[in-house]
Amino acid sequence: MQIITRHLETGRFLDMMDGQLELETNQLETGRCVHQPALCIIRGLRFSSTGILTGGMSAMIRRFISFALVAPILLACVGCNTNGDFNSKRQLRKRAIERVRNGEIKTEQENGLQVPQGSARLSCSAQLPHDLQEASLDGVIYVSKPTTNQLIVVFKTWQGKGFNMEGFLYAAKPLSGAGVSKDYYGHSVVIIGPMELVLERQLDPNWYRVSYKLD
């Protein structure tokens, strides 16, 4: 049985059978076949013009195949959003880092404040001034100065339960050696206050995508 769908760009119908895709477009003559070995062709399945699976299959299978088709697009969108946030706020974060470096932005500890146990803030927390608050989700960053020549600043992009978070970490010098350790699960982590931030991905020599999800 043929599988019928509609080309999203041209609006023309596509007929798929036996692993072949017959395209009828302005550029291709009717009847020309293009092989698509990566396609999983399931006989008896019918696609609507929107790509939603209909007819001839159980609801569970239709959902599974729909998800399989859509998931790569969703993942690509997530990646675009992440990169977009990183690039669009990079200059703002650089200004925040410079103010941390010259002492204009101080941590709770540097201000001589005692952070109560169980508080949502940490001794390494620093409040951003009004003009820089969009650099971090809640206007708060984490700052660490493990050595004389190293400065680490963490900007949050997502906040969950407790201290669970995702964000971007800036390191004045690329993290290596004693600056990086392994957690219980074998992930590369950097310790900021009581948190072991997982280094998910290095974006450039000084920037990393990080997360903490143990609370």
Give yes or no: residues 31 and 70 share one domain: yes
Give yes or no: residues 176 and 189 share one domain: yes
Res 50 pLDDT > 70? no
Res 82 pLDDT > 70? no
Which of 34, 64, 87 lies at the terminal end of a domain, its last residue? 87
Q: How far apart are CA 53 and CA 68, in angstroms?
A: 12
Q: Write phi, then psi, for 214 (nearest 5 degrees).
A: -110, -5
Give yes or no: residues 122 and 158 share one domain: yes
Give yes or no: residues 121 and 35 share one domain: no
Segment 129-187, tens digit of pLDDT: 999 999 999 999 999 999 999 999 999 999 999 899 999 999 999 999 889 999 999 99
Please give the span between the terminal C-alpha atoms of the chain, in angstroms, as a whole number.
Answer: 52
Res 58 pLDDT > 70? no
Give yes or no: residues 98 and 191 share one domain: yes
- Residue-by-residue DSSP string for the chain: --EEEE-TTT--EEEEETTEEE---SSS-TT-EEE-TTS---TT-EE-TTS-EESSS-HHHHHHHHHHHHHHHHHHHHHHHHHHHHHHTHHHHHHHHHHHHTTSS--TTTTTPPPPTT-SS-TTEEEPPGGGGGGSTTSEEEEE--STT--EEEEEEEE-STT-EEEEEEESS---GGG-EE-TTS-EEEEETTEEEEEEEEEETTEEEEEE---
Give yes or no: residues 29 and 66 share one domain: yes
pLDDT of residue 17: 44
pLDDT of residue 181: 95
pLDDT of residue 63: 67
Give yes or no: residues 57 and 116 share one domain: no
Give yes or no: residues 52 and 96 share one domain: no
Give yes or no: residues 177 and 136 share one domain: yes
Give yes or no: residues 9 and 109 share one domain: no
Q: How far apart are CA 116 and CA 11, in angstroms?
A: 62
Give yes or no: residues 52 and 97 share one domain: no
Q: For residue 108, what are the domain limits? A: 89-212
In the chain, the number of structural domains is 2
Which of 69, 87, 105 lies at the terminal end of a domain, its last residue? 87
Segment 7-16, tens digit of pLDDT: 444 555 444 4
Give yes or no: residues 52 and 69 share one domain: yes
Which of 64, 87, 110 lies at the terminal end of a domain, its last residue? 87
Q: How far apart are CA 143 and CA 12, in angstroms?
A: 56
Res 84 pLDDT > 90? no
